[in-house]
Structure 1
Amino acid sequence: MPRVLPLLTVFLTLSTALAGGGEAPTVTLNNPNCHPVVGTVTFRTATDPAASRRLAQLFAQDQADRAAQPIDWSKVAPADQARRAEALRLLNAGRLSQSEDFYHAAFLFQHGDCPQHYELANLLAQQAMSRGSPSAGWLYAATYDRWMLSLGRPQKYGTQFVTEPEGCGVKLAPYDPATTDAERTRYGAPTLAVALRQADKLSALCQARQQAP
Structure 2
Amino acid sequence: MRLSCAAAVAAVVLAIGAPAFAQNAPVQDNAEMAAIFAADQSIRQVAPERFRDRAFVTEMHAADAARRVQTRALLDAGALQTGEDYRAAAFVFQHGSTPEDYLLAHSLAVAAVAKGSPEGAWIAAATLDRYLQMIDKPQIYGTQTRKTRDAPATLEPYDRALVPDSLRAVFGVPRQAEQDARLAAVNAATEAAAAKP
Superposition TM-score tier, normalisation by shorter sequence: 0.7 to 0.9
CA distance in structure 1 between the aligned counterparts of 2:38 and 2:119, rounded to whole angstroms = 16
State which of 144, 165, 183 in structure 2 corresponds to 1:181. Answer: 165
Shift of 1:211: 4.2
Please list every run of 5 or more consecutive structure 2 residues that lacks an aligned counterpart in the other structure: 1-25
Task: Calculate the TM-score normalised by the size of structure 2.
Answer: 0.78
CA distance in structure 1 between the aligned counterparts of 2:82 and 2:196, rounded to whole angstroms = 45
Kept in 2: contact 1:48–1:95 (CA 8 A): no
- SS at structure 1 position matched to 2:146: strand
Kept in 2: contact 1:163–1:171 (CA 8 A): yes
Larger Cα Rg: Structure 1 or Structure 2? 2
Task: Calculate the TM-score normalised by the size of structure 1.
Answer: 0.73
> Higher strand fraction: Structure 1 or Structure 2?
1
CA distance in structure 2 between the aligned counterparts of 1:145 and 1:130, rounded to whole angstroms = 19
- SS at structure 2 position matched to 1:163: coil
Q: For 1:23-172, list aligned pairs within 5 A.
A: 49=28, 52-69=30-47, 70-71=50-51, 72-166=56-150, 169-172=152-155
Kept in 2: contact 1:106–1:124 (CA 8 A): yes
Q: 1:183 to 1:80 in 2, by over 3 A?
A: same
Q: Could you report, residue by residue, the CA deviation over 1:22-76 in whole angstroms, capped at 9, with x for unpaired residues? A: xxxxxxxxxxxxxxxxxxxxxxxxx975x71111111111111111122320210
Q: State the number of aligned residues.
A: 165
Q: Percent identity?
A: 36
Kept in 2: contact 1:106–1:121 (CA 8 A): yes
Q: Could you report, residue by residue, the CA deviation over 1:135-162 in whole angstroms, capped at 9, with x for unpaired residues? A: 1111110000001111100101011111
CA distance in structure 1 between the aligned counterparts of 2:35 and 2:195, rounded to whole angstroms = 37
Kept in 2: contact 1:48–1:96 (CA 8 A): no
Aligned residues: CA RMSD: 1.7
CA distance in structure 2 between the aligned counterparts of 1:81 and 1:137, rounded to whole angstroms = 24
> Higher helix fraction: Structure 1 or Structure 2?
2
CA distance in structure 1 between the aligned counterparts of 2:180 and 2:107, rounded to whole angstroms = 27
Match of 1:3 in 2: none
